[in-house]
Amino acid sequence: MSVVPRALKQVAGLALVAMLMTACSNTSSDSPADDATPQRGGTLRMQLVRDTAGAGYDPGKTTESVVYTVDSLIFDTLLEADPNGNLKPGLAEKWDISSDGLVYTFTLRKGVKFHDGSDMTATDAKYTIDRILNPDTKSPRRNVFAAVKSAEATDPTTLVITLSKPYSPLLNVLADITAGIVPKAVVEAKGDGFSAAPVGTGPFKLVEWRRDQQIKLAANSAYWVSGQPYLNGIDISFNADSNARAANVRSRTIDFLWNAPPELYSVLKADKSVRVAGGSGTTSFQYMLLNIQKAPFNDVKVRQAIFTALNRDEIRTISRPDTTATLNGGFLPDGHWAALSTPVNKFDVARAKSLLSEAGQAAGFPLEILVLSGSDFHVRTGQAVQQQLQPLGITVKVTTVDSAQQQQRLRDGSFDAVVTGFSGTLDPDERLTQTFGTGGGTNYAKFSDAEVDDLIAQGRATTDQAKRADIYRRVQQRLAETGPMAFTYNYNFFDVMTADVHGYEFNPTTVNYRSLRQVWLTQ
Amino acid sequence: MAENTPIAMSAPASEPGLPADAGPRRTRRGLRVLRNLMRDRTGVVGAVLVGLALFAALFGPLLAPYDPNLIHPDARLAAPGARFLLGADELGRDVLSRALHGARISIVVGVLVVLCAGAIGVTVGLLSGYAKGLVDGVAMRVMDVLFAFPTLLLAMAVVAVLGTDMRNLIVALVLVYIPAFARVARASTLSVVEEPYIEAARAVGLPHRRILFRYVLPNIMPPVLVQATISLAYAILVEASLSYLGLGVQPPDASWGSMLATGKPYLELAAWLCMVPGLAIMLTVLGFNLLGDALRDVLDPRLRR
């Protein structure tokens, strides 16, 4: 009988604590405007979703956005991309390209030091590139550097990269955090241990990494951008529950919420106590991939019928109405320099039906769509597609799988269709080569088309952006008509921070959080 | 006290030595149990809640105003109103229709699990309690192993190995609930076989099978029945938990757990997405628990005041 009063007491105690906490959080509401002089000090409490760094934080081996994020704080690249995708000097002060487009000469910044105090020289830059090219490293980025014939350090501040054939995306590839400069001596000494204790030149250095729990970063006091970083450090925690993460930033349990849940966009946007950054400008996109190695999807007419039966505006509204833009045709959003803005597969059920009967599939067929469990917006798209393909007699089954199962089935080719997404790349070439080029690393449907391969090669060899844009529009047109996937919509990440966080600049080009070096906290 | 003859785990005191399976007697006992149950207020509440849940499971799909999986793109997160009585979800599907269909899944899973787990568990418990010795030792150690795993963890492991679909979910839950039934059945059997009437049956030379199923089984049923009601409540809860984690029914089909999971991000925008399935789970589980408690009170003389 004494259980009830005790429980009551506990509830009352909790309520009291909650009241006190609310009272405390209301006291610091005034914050200076963003153009105020940066204040030094403080530790930014940042929350990510999951610690996905199975292999650690080695830039050359990075494939995953959490690792991209942490690496962009620890490492620097020769060039940096601003939020509009324009390249500016990073560790390289300036660079020069030979007229034939085969020799790139970089002049490196003097006096840059690694976190261990050693000097960063052209030897380290050369080593970084050699290491990615070395098959033993097993770098997932090896093929984007395939055009590199050699990298040479002619003196401590000069790096010369020679190509075997013109490769215009090179500068963009070097600006990606996967090309972060690593210290030769440290990597050679530590070997595989480097990824667990990474050393770079970046604004923050790794102090402690407790897998799945916490990453502690401290300011690099010898950072080459004078005065930066303003923060004393960054404490990164992980939380897979999107509601809890959003609640944490709203209750000031954390200062900075990385990649907030899209379902909560309107709620967070309306909340005056937090600020939302981002939500546009990325080239991330969602797609439905058909297994073109398998009947009936090996028939281009069947694929076209499916593409035409999809109402992409409706898919977007149902799946993810905020922070998205409908795609129909290319995978680049309107406004991108290489975007294909005319719709290719206009929504037309009658046409879809006739295409299907031309293919001899008028009766329809079953179709299983794999979606990643936990990626709610992909699951919702799967269900929208299910309803939209009904009129064609295509009976869709939506199956949720975990990421290991999904990867396995994609690799084995044991799937009909999958709805998932690709994050943006700085240069369209990377996405095209990797996903649609013959033998590309993420070309899951083993798509191979001579015209597409040829256009990709032309795009790589062309330096003029207008000409490249034209080539890429042609590739996208070809892909939309005959390709293995329907591009549904472009989606954007966004970050949420408390009013105490100033100076943050969302960079939509790739996953890049280096601008945290210029962030400061109200003290 | 006199009319409330003890029936569970003890011999019918007034007629020592007589088998307890006489037909009319059983009916009379059933009626008495029902009458006592109806006198118990919590029992009535439980019975009403369970009745409602069963009604929804049986006739819900007929009552549902819409196809539960039909997407209305214009009605995303529509508030409860004339068009959608309990609102629409994040895909513009009718929440009421989905909750009614979800009831069928929850109840069917619960009942199937309890029936299968009960049948297997009681058989195991009955045999090991009756045979004792090696059979008992081996069977019970196997049950101990199953019991050692936390319910949800074991169910998740089974689903993870077999793959996520409805059938595997049921298999997983059956496996999880067998030990509880086996233990209850064994404990009762152990005491029942010591009764004089079993001794008498043996002395008469009845075959084991007949003794087991005609004389032991009916007398161990009351605690098993209580266990069944409690297990039903938990099976529904575990099904909801697994569906919540994405290991149960697959989209677009609705179950209360999956409705909770997909509705969770919209708690601030559209609270009805979680409130409807949440209340449904709560009331159903509460109903089965109350009913189970009341049944135990009625069936177990030792708990009666």
- Residues A433-447 have pLDDT tens digits of 889 999 887 889 999
Contact flag B250-A382 (C-beta cutoff 8 Å): no
Q: Do residues B300 and B37 touch, judged by C-beta distance below 8 A?
A: no
Answer whether the bond into residue B150 is a cis peptide, omega within 30°: no
> In degrees rounded to 5, what are phi and psi of residue A169?
-70, 0
Cα–Cα distances (Å) from A379 to A155, A386, A394, A405, A419, in that order, read 54, 11, 18, 16, 8
Tokens coding A492:
């954007």
| Alpha carbon A263 to chain centroid, angstroms | 19
The closest of A328, A307, A482, A306 to A394, measured between CA atoms, is A306
* Strand A256-257, strand A43-48: pairing: parallel
Give the separation between CA A389 and CA A302, rounded to whole angstroms: 12
Structure tokens at B147: 């019991």
Q: What is the rounded CA–CA span in Å between residue A403 and residue A26? A: 41
The pLDDT of residue B10: 40
Helix axes B95-131, B272-299, angle to 10 degrees: 30
pTM: 0.79
Neighbours of A500 (CB within 10 A): 18
The residue with tokens 């109806």 is B38
How confident is the prediction for chain A on average, in pLDDT? 89
Q: How far apart are CA A43 and CA A30, in angstroms?
A: 19
Q: Would you state the pLDDT for residue B25? A: 59
Q: Which residues of B touch A315 (CB under 8 A)?
A: none
Q: Which among A234, A203, A170 has a CA at the least distance from the CA of A91?
A: A203
pLDDT at A466: 92
Give tens-digit pLDDT for A470-512.
Answer: 999 999 999 999 989 999 999 999 999 999 999 999 998 888 8
Distance from CA of B94 to the nearest CA of A (A): 14
Q: Report chain B (305 residues): mean pLDDT per 10 consecutive residues.
A: 40 43 60 77 89 90 90 89 90 92 89 93 91 87 87 84 82 89 91 88 88 87 87 87 81 87 87 92 91 81 52
- pLDDT at position A200 is 96
Cα–Cα distance for residue pair A262/A258, rounded to 1 Å: 12
Of B73, B262, B268, the CB nearest to A267: B268
Give mean pLDDT in consecutive 10-residue pieces for chain A, a chain of 523 residues.
46 47 39 69 92 81 85 96 90 94 95 95 96 89 89 95 93 93 95 91 95 93 93 94 90 94 91 92 92 93 95 94 91 90 90 94 94 86 95 92 84 92 87 89 90 94 91 94 93 94 90 93 89
Distance of alpha carbon A515 from alpha carbon A511, whole angstroms: 11
Element (H, E) at A88: strand A87-89
| A520 φ/ψ angles, rounded to the nearest 5 degrees | -135, 160
Of B91, B246, B266, the CB nearest to A383: B91
SS3 A506: coil
DSSP state, residue B81: S
Which pLDDT score is estimated for A17? 47
pLDDT of amino acid B229: 87
Give the minimum alpha-carbon distance from B265 to chain A in angstroms, rounded to a whole number.
6
What's the confidence (pLDDT) of residue A24?
41
Q: What residues have CB less than 8 Å from A6, skipping those under 6 apart?
A: none
Q: Please measure the distance between the N-terminal and C-terminal CA atoms of chain A and give it in whole angstroms.
A: 51
Measured from the Cβ of residue B167, the count of other Cβ atoms closer than 10 Å reads 9
B162 touches chain A (CB under 8 A): no
Cβ separation A261–B265 shorter than 8 A: yes
Identify the pLDDT of residue A97: 94
Which tokens in the block code for residue B63? 């009552």
Report which of B223, B220, B229, B217 is spatially closest to residue B113, judged by C-alpha positions.
B229
* The pLDDT value given to residue B301: 57
Size of interface A-B (CB pairs under 8 A): 55
